[in-house]
Structure 1
Amino acid sequence: MSGVMHPVGPEPQETYWVRRAVVIGSALVLMIILLLVLFNLNGSQQPAPAAPPNPLPSLTPMTPSASPSSASPSPSGSASASASASGKATPSASASGKASSSASASASASGSPKAAGKASSSPSTKSTSTAVTQQTLTVCDPSDLDLSVDSPRTAGVSSSVGFKLSLTNTGSNTCVVTVNPNDFSLKLVSGSDRIWSTADCSTLVGQRLAQLTPKQSLNWTVEWNGKRSASGCKTRPGTPGAGYYWATASFTGVASDRARLILT
């Protein structure tokens, strides 16, 4: 015991104490390193917490606005979530990812999402086109229409005469005009004598539909057979003789200027 506390040897006493301190310090460092290694081994051998089971994706058909890639859940989302929690992807996350991939592949193979999207896109496009057409085809305002009638300068008694009619859009917008017997009439008079009128025979007018841009006109011709007219497309007795006759037209309250015709 005295040899431990009081070293004996040819070297100075301080040299022996330094040697003992180095040996004891080295032993303590080795013990500390050994304890740290054992602690780390025990900690790494503990099982990593199991990731919660990932449910299989639903195979409900997608809505038309969703694409197939966005409808089925991505397997990378669950795998990355498990990797961030434990430092690596767990077997359960990998299996769940494979199941999600196979379910997404089968949903794409069935073709039902594409069919649903295609079926709903056509009515939407068709309804939009109809709405645009209805907005474009606005009815012409009578105040934006100018009606004119033109006739030959002279014609023979009892001969047929063609009256040229023109309906012009004087407004600043494109519009639609419909000419039919209910809204249009052309008549021929001589003084106070009513000679002939399309109101007596609707087939003389027919029906016309035109879309008119600003300053554009709808032109057509109405034939007079040279006789007096009666209701029901009939004629009255008495042939109009030589003299001056005046033709006027009206459409939805818009009246034309008079056109002069001389029968010879």
Structure 2
Amino acid sequence: MSAVTRPRGPLPARVYWIRRLIVVGVACLLVVGLARLLGGGSDGSSTDAARLSADHGASTPTSRASVPPTATAPVTPRTTKKARPTRPPLAQPSGPCTTEGLTVEPVVDRVTGGSAIRIPFRILTDEAACTFSFSPSTVAVRINSGKDLIWTSQQCRSLPTTDLVVRAAKPAKVSMRWTARRSNEGCKVAEARWAEAGWYHVVAAALGGEPTDQQFRIVNPTSRTITKAPKPDQKDQDGSTPTDEPADGPRSGATEPS
């Protein structure tokens, strides 16, 4: 047996064995303690890391909420225009106008003679909307002064031809051009006389409808009169100065109507 297993010395062998057991036990305790220390440090770091992560995640919304919003420039409200009230749509024609509910109304008051005269008309109806063809074949017009027939569309078929949409809410408009001369057979304008200044009536109607009578007046056109003054030294043979007007009164080329 070796000296290690069988110690020799002044002390008993049991003492040395106890010492060896104590040394071995202390070494084992140190190893176990060191292992726990290292394992506990790793678990603690993981736990701390998880805890920090959880704390960071929980604190993120709070930090965002706590950050004040970025200051922006004040928004100036735009001025909105008031919408105009929309008008209801006009009625659409469902067919031609009936003659009984149609009215051709002249619109004329005072005109100047000596040249062509424009006579407007308004076309009225008692229907919501309908179509009407204005022409010499559907409308009759005459102009008279008392019992004197001045002009008629039966002799001079000079009425315009146009298709109209007539509505009760919005009358249609059309006009004719009158030469301001009397009509005759064949409407020979060169042989017709001018209508003199005075009061007249224009009567219009759709064929088969009620006529409409409108009184109007023709006035003479305004003419410029230029008077040449005599020279101061101009004298007659008898030595007298001529006057501006003859003895029997002023003369004029204009003929006043009877």
The answer to whether the superposition gives a TM-score over 0.5 is no
The TM-score with structure 1 as length reference comes to 0.43
Higher helix share: 1
The TM-score with structure 2 as length reference comes to 0.44
Which structure ranks higher in relative contact order (CA pairs < 8 Å, sequence separation ≥ 6)?
A: 2
